[in-house]
Amino acid sequence: MKTSDRGINFIKNFEKLRLEAYPDPVGIWTIGYGHTGGVKPGDKVTEEEAEKLLRHDLQIAENEINRLDLWLTQNRFDALVSFVFNVGTGNFRSSTLRKKLLENPDDPSIFDEFKRWKYGKVNGKSVVLPGLVKRREAEAKLYITGEYGN
């Protein structure tokens, strides 16, 4: 499967376009629509380059979800791609969310598994990040109800 246009817009709504590198809330240098690979202070991209980086990053997340070999509706796939794009494949692979998906993608407790991923390390301390709370709520809702909310 591939991320739908609605799914891409859903992700863009949380990532926002930034053409100059900036440190995210936990200090990771980021550019474009949430791209972090090899980004350093002073980097700049065009909107077209940001779009290409996003498509590349989404493909990594899509491959991770497709590897699970589950039958998923488009909204569930998009919600999971958003999640993996944000938390990374390594974190996803070790998550209870992944474990529950493999056991039963219809398990209603999956809704709560999304929402557990609301923490970030700031100054060495694990803190709840309001942006992640909002994103996880939206991802969980998209997964369960199919409502993209944008």
- The residue type of 98 is R
Q: Which of 15, 62, 113, 139 is catalytic?
A: 15
Between CA 96 and CA 73 the distance in angstroms is 20
Q: What is the DSSP letter of 77?
A: H
Q: What is the DSSP string of 23-55?
A: E-TTS-EEEETTB-TT--TT-B--HHHHHHHHH
Q: Is 15 known to be catalytic? A: yes
Q: Check the CA dihedral 129-133-138-142 and report its sign.
A: positive
Between CA 58 and CA 84 the distance in angstroms is 9
- What six digits make up the tokens of 35? 């791209």
Residues belonging to the active site? 15
